Amino acid sequence: MKASADIGIVPLGAGVSLSAYVAACERVLAEAGLRPRLHAYGTNVEGDWDAVFAAVRRCHETVHEMGAPRILTVIKVGTRTDRDQTNEDKIASVEKKLATDVR
């Protein structure tokens, strides 16, 4: 089953700056071939369901190894049976409406 997801990892008990942890997870997601696209509150990914969640698990393992004793990750995951749609397609679909609609 194909999945599209948004992954926002939040290390706790690891200080106020989270960017090193987020970058480490970003590398994990890229190495898994999930086409990560970073934004300010998470990372859009897409791929096989099991590959996505195996990568999220590796993110937790990696960030714990870096010293964070506690991690909270917020995941949005989407699946659909009616048609194929990439994350890029989703964004393009909204942007097309923004460009052409007149209120």
Residue ranges in contact with a copy of itself by CB under 8 A: 1, 4-6, 8, 10, 12-13, 15-20, 22-23, 26-27, 37-42, 44, 49-50, 53, 56-57, 60-61, 64, 69-82, 87-88, 90-91, 93-98, 101, 103
Shortest approach of a copy of itself to residue 99 CB, angstroms?
Answer: 9
Pick 33 or 50: Cβ nearer a copy of itself:
50
Helix (H) or strand (E) holding 11: strand 2-12
Shortest approach of a copy of itself to residue 34 CB, angstroms?
Answer: 13
Which of these, 79, 81, 76, lies nearest to 56 by C-alpha position?
76
Shortest approach of a copy of itself to residue 72 CB, angstroms?
Answer: 5
Q: For residues 48-64, b (16+ Cβ closer than 10 Å) or e, as one string?
A: eeebbeebbebbbebbe
Tokens 């096989």 correspond to 48
Q: Say whether 85 sits in a helix, a strand or coil.
A: coil
